Amino acid sequence: MYRYLFFDADGTLFDFEQAEHHAFHSMARDLGLSVQNDHFLQYKACNASCWKEFEQGALTLEELKTKRFERFSETSLFLLDANRASQSYQNHLAGQGILFGHSLLILSTLAKRGYTLFLATNGIAEVQRGRLKESGVSHFFKDIFISEELGWQKPDTRYFSAMLERSNLLGEKSHCLMIGDNPESDIRGAMDSGIDSVWYNPHNQALPPDLEATYTVTRLETILDLLAAPI
């Protein structure tokens, strides 16, 4: 029986696509850039490549913050100060606490049923904590685990070990459940750490053959049918 629920943030509870879009265009206004949607897509590609290199150990998090804007400058041919762009973007992103429509209902219902809720997210601490504050949902979580603060990021098993150790749940894995949308960071991380998982798969994608989620849902509200009050 599950008692402890670890929720991923972006793509699961938080609408990161909208947050990223708003922050990018606000950054562009700050820097006086006349951008179109193609420029946003270029930035997303640069950002994704930097995060991949960070996960592989080729970039530090500090390097990532500016490198993505250096690459965007090269790709888009905009002349911009990468440090200034990075700070502006992070400031605006930290103010984007945009939740999906299902999030409040799910969190409030599970809290009322007696589950202990945690948030387990990768990302920059300043940004993630700002977004949490703006969203107004921090009070649902007993603890909040952000990769920059832990020193490791999902799917690294050291992230999950640190999270469980801080929660005093290393011996309670059978009562823990990881809920997230990312097959790699959420599902692989949970699987490698011996924790059951719910894969939120709204686009009906195929799970990589070497991964196995305990449960798969296309609508996150479905977990309310799965998770009755814990015993």
Q: Which residues of the chain have pLDDT under 50?
A: none
pLDDT digits (tens, 9 = 90+) for 193-225: 999 999 999 999 999 999 999 999 999 999 999
Q: Is residue 10 annotated as a catalytic residue, yes or no?
A: yes
Please tell me the distance from the alpha carbon of residue 50 to that of residue 129, in angstroms, as a whole number: 22
The single residue listed with the structure tokens 């050291």 is: 158
CATH number of 4-15+99-226: 3.40.50.1000
CA 150 distance to own-chain centroid: 14
pLDDT of residue 231: 57
Q: Where in the chain is the domain with CATH 3.40.50.1000?
A: 4-15+99-226
Domain spanning 16-94, CATH class:
mainly alpha
Contacts of 14 (CB under 8 A, 6+ apart): 97, 98, 99, 100, 103, 131, 135
- Give pLDDT, residue 54: 84
Q: Annotated catalytic residue: which of 8, 15, 156, 181?
A: 8
At residue 55, the pLDDT reads: 79
8 given a catalytic annotation? yes
Pull the structure tokens for residue 168.
């005093």
The tens digit of pLDDT for each residue in 165-200 reads: 999 999 999 999 999 999 999 999 999 999 999 999
Residue-level pLDDT at 230: 72
So what's the pLDDT on residue 52? 85
Intervals of CATH 1.10.150.240 along the chain: 16-94
CA 215 to chain centre: 19
pTM of the model: 0.93
Q: Give the burial class of 96: count Cβ atoms within 10 A of its Cβ; 0-12 exposed, 13-18 middle, 19 or more buried.
A: buried
Active-site annotation holder among 10, 15, 156, 186: 10
Q: What is the pLDDT of residue 25?
A: 96
Let me know if 173 is exposed, middle or buried by CB neighbors in 10 A (0-12, 13-18, 19+): middle
